[in-house]
Structure 1
């Protein structure tokens, strides 16, 4: 596979290629294709326009992948202050740097999710290279092949201090660390599903949205969600819990009778009220600091 090509969502065949340890020296190997399907747009799926039954099926699929791949607990970076600041600065940099390659929000969210999955064992000196490599891998999974920039162009914008060989080597290390399974249900997937379920189940919510436009509303919530992913304390929560908290806080602001829809989403998302309350408290603190 060419280094600039799109990664197929299908499982690779044949023996597993050897990969270096995370942060190892550059080498000449080429990464094989990671498995894990890219998400379908939620306005429709292969069966046509989405109703609640199909949305719940998408949610259950995402929850199943999250339960299988997510590793809980406090990451190593929750310790030293300088490391926490490094992670926060990297995430905010990724969200704010000019998007000259027109990557989708799905790509950025998968990059942040991939980065978060690696933080438990990540050394501080590796964090910048892991971040930009996570973005490169996310683009290979989500973007059309003609939109994936050449390695040299990508590095010129995102990682001028690294060589193509170093990027390739880090790709291999990340894929090996994650067992070649990049696609976990991301917080953005859950946010989109929860929002669609909310609009379908409680149509009057649309009247309360800015410009009565659900798409613009999701875009606004996505920005909040991604900034929360820069908070080290929030990395202990599953993406489904974090997304549900963002929806909950917004509903509390928009409508007085928010308890019923949130209770319904809690049940569908299999999130306990204790988890929701703990995460909600930290999200509120984080959003106030922005």
Structure 2
């Protein structure tokens, strides 16, 4: 036997084998039935299937999902003789295992040592454990599961090309918001620690700030952050009655600095408060609020969740305006502090949908993205319907007047969903 080359140490060239280039040509495979249709379709790992032990040419089983009928076929074939002609004849009569034609393209695979029949002894057979891993359930069940998944639309597909939408991270962002939203909440009874103010004074202040916000044409985020700053500050710091309005205008100044592009100047806020405070008092209160809140302005308010949940509801402008009208009615009410921002947002949209449609409406998409089923929203929604019913009455009508304008679609003039008041909890 001759040496092939000085770079192939220890490798000898068998007699009768033609060498072409750097590889050895395959011997005649004699068109054996069962050869794979596609070259290199089988891995090089040796088989340990007990049904093939003792056979020089192991049974060739095509890889396919293992159904019950196919499993029975494999069990029967594991006891059959491993001769290739016998395998070929058996496959001709078996409707479950299609016949595979040999292909001359097999020479594209890496050459291996062949046995006397021309087949590689290293060709692996799928083991019983491997076929179990490929086992699938009933195709009809799989099809129904896929159909159920497809019924829930991808609400972010329309923004896939918008880098500002952060489609790749939006689910993680809102998951983080849910984890930290408790940090933006206050105790529902914090007014008990105040000795000179009460919840009615708070309602008067917020109703006035909503009008100021509307007059200055500020962003929606600014209003929600302003009220959040006020509540978190009042929970930690006692305030005199005559300083409550100062807390309100200063909180709005801080929210404007955080959210707005064009920030109102201090003199504008002093003027809007009828010059009740000086510039130095406003700046001093600003320092006190920031120190009390430890400069934490990044909290998820109901507005953050409103934008996401409205997208999940596939809202139009009418639903959006009515949802924000209901939500701003809740900002005035002290009793609504017991609900989380995400729950308030989901309940506002649910109540608005029921108001416009005239019946209960909360689909699977809304439930998926809000993580609130309908029964979790009913308590909060019933309170919102009550606020909607009395929005135009009493002394605090700032929200009603704002949403009675044409700019806000006259959302305040819609009929409240009174049927929700009779809904069982």
| 2:345 matched residue in structure 1 | 243
Cα 1:281–1:162, aligned 2, differ >3 Å: closer, same or farther?
Answer: same
Spell out the pairing of 1:136-215 with structure 2 (5 A cutoff): 136-144=253-261, 147-158=262-273, 160-199=275-314, 214-215=316-317
SS in 2 for 1:173: helix
Contact kept, 8 Å, 2:319 with 2:353, in 1: the verdict is: no
- Return the alpha-carbon distance in structure 2 between the equivalents of residues 248 and 78 of structure 1: 34
List gaps (5 residues or longer) in structure 2: 1-157, 392-425
Contact kept, 8 Å, 1:192 with 1:218, in 2: the verdict is: no
- Return the alpha-carbon distance in structure 2 between the equivalents of residues 171 and 45 of structure 1: 40
Contact kept, 8 Å, 1:228 with 1:283, in 2: the verdict is: yes
| 2:333 matched residue in structure 1 | 231
- Return the alpha-carbon distance in structure 1 between the equivalents of residues 337 and 384 of structure 2: 11
SS in 1 for 2:198: helix
Larger Rg: 2
- Return the alpha-carbon distance in structure 2 between the equivalents of residues 135 and 99 of structure 1: 12
**Could you list the per-position Cα deviations for residues 71-101 of structure 1 after superposition, in whole angstroms to 9, with x for gaps in the alignment?**
4442216999972221111111111237453
TM (norm. structure 1) is 0.68
Deviates more, 1:237-246 or 1:92-101: 92-101
Cα 1:90–1:275, aligned 2, differ >3 Å: closer, same or farther?
Answer: farther
- How many equivalent residue pairs? 231
Spell out the pairing of 1:1-290 with structure 2 (5 A cutoff): 48=163, 50=165, 55-76=170-191, 83-97=198-212, 99-121=214-236, 122-123=238-239, 125=241, 126-144=243-261, 147-158=262-273, 160-199=275-314, 214-215=316-317, 217-255=319-357, 256=359, 258-261=361-364, 264-271=365-372, 276-290=377-391
Q: Which has the higher contact order (CA 8 A, sep 6+)?
A: 1
TM (norm. structure 2) is 0.48
Offset of 1:184 from its aligned partner? 0.9
- Return the alpha-carbon distance in structure 1 between the equivalents of residues 196 and 281 of structure 2: 28
Contact kept, 8 Å, 1:77 with 1:84, in 2: the verdict is: no
List gaps (5 residues or longer) in structure 1: 1-42, 200-205, 207-213
